[in-house]
Amino acid sequence: MFENKDDSSTSIGSLGEFGLIDHLTKNFTIKQKSTVKGIGDDAAVISCDSKKEIVVSTDFLLEGVHFDLSYVPLKHLGYKAVVVNLSDIYAMNATPTQITVSIAVSNRFPVEALEELYAGIMAAAKIYNIDVVGGDTTSSTTGLMISVTALGTVNKGEAVYRSGAKENDLLVVTGDLGAAYMGLQVLEREKEVFKVNPNSQPDLEPYSYLVERQLKPEARKDISGLLKELEVKPTSMIDISDGLSSEIIHICKNSKVGCNLFEDKIPLDPQVISTCEEFNLDSTTIALSGGEDYELLFTIKTEDYPKIKANPHLTVIGHITDEKEGIHLISRVGTKIPLTARGWNALKNNG
């Protein structure tokens, strides 16, 4: 049995999710020649032959931490569980090909409920053209747990890591940010209203985009092909799952560079802006810290700017600087504010 530690022990929450991963894995060493990239990126990369590499990523979703079944339909949950993994594969400039799905479930769920969950998984597999090739099922006493492992392929030498950004590179983001987090705020508010008045019917129509981004996100499978068409190869890339600020810091730390992010360049949907005003929240803070957008954040060489500047899917939001200059947000009035990772951390209370 494990004994209780004294007061000098370190709490998991103080390290945060990524700090804990770094701490627990710092002594692992690569022994296999086939391991091209191990821990520390969106996915691992494994060499399989002279032309192709395999990309592998795993995510875990836990009831009460990552989702609330009082407003998350099981079909949507199954779909989302797949998509969040595929986003990691696309962030490596790779194409997803297979997934495995493992669940732990209590007997409070009838078979029909699990059929709904797997209908969502099947829908995602069809849309993203991937095969479900295995997994595991076991019992749970604490609620529903879903673990998906995604595999993909990339041509040798074409994987894009977090570590390739160079000084003067441009920082680019796909789509818009903050909608998923605001969708969560709307759903949480309506849940509280329902508790007080179970007969109330929420009107979610004004928030349709936000709710969809939260309940049924999509991975950016279009971006790799678009960039190839534009003849642009990112120098670094990551998906935005934990908030823009956290992802920028990941790229900067892995690439050993600094960054200037411009507040007035961050792309926001009008529904995000209006709903932030309604909730009395700052839209920039939500874009920086909200998470679950599953857009792609990447850097490109300055000379590639003319190739992307008119594209409606891509927005230049900043540039890479020397590491000594640090990582900053440049506010609308020109103030330089140090950027901190305040995004989603599953090991702390995010309430």
Structure confidence by residue, pLDDT tens digits, 155-168: 999 999 999 999 99
pLDDT at 351 over 50: no
Percent of the chain with pLDDT over 70: 89
Higher-pLDDT residue of 31, 179: 179
Q: Which residues pair with 238 in a beta bridge?
A: 297
Percent of the chain with pLDDT over 90: 76
Mean pLDDT of 124-141: 95
Domains of the chain, each with CATH number or no CATH: 13-25+32-155 (3.30.1330.10), 170-338 (3.90.650.10)
**In the β-sheet with 44-47, what is the strand arrangement from edge to edge?**
35-37, 44-47, 52-62, 145-155, 95-105, 131-139
Q: Output the pLDDT for position 116.
A: 98
Higher-pLDDT residue of 226, 351: 226
Q: Output the pLDDT for position 84.
A: 96
Residues in the chain: 351
Q: Output the pLDDT for position 4.
A: 56
DSSP 31: -
Q: 269 in helix, strand or coil? A: coil
Q: 325 in helix, strand or coil? A: helix
Mean pLDDT of 227-252: 96
SS3 string, 79-145, reads: HHHHHHHHHHHHCCCCEEEEEEEEEEECCCCCHHHHHHHHHHHHHHHHHCCCEEEEEEEEECCCCCE
Nearest to 47 by CA among 125, 144, 155: 155
Q: Output the pLDDT for position 15.
A: 65
pLDDT at 100 over 90: yes
Write down the number of H helices and E strands in the chain.
10, 13
Mean pLDDT of 30-49: 76
Q: Output the pLDDT for position 218.
A: 98
Q: 306-331, pLDDT tens digit by residue?
A: 999 989 999 999 999 999 999 999 99
Higher-pLDDT residue of 41, 179: 179
Residue at token pair 């079909």: 75
Query: What Å distances lie between residue 162 and 21, 142, 326, 333, CA to CA?
Result: 16, 35, 17, 30
Q: 7-26, pLDDT tens digit by residue?
A: 567 776 666 665 666 777 67
Q: Output the pLDDT for position 31.
A: 74
Q: Output the pLDDT for position 342.
A: 66
Query: What Å distances lie between residue 72 and 183, 191, 300, 328, CA to CA?
Result: 12, 11, 37, 36
Q: 180-208, pLDDT tens digit by residue?
A: 999 999 999 999 988 888 887 888 999 99
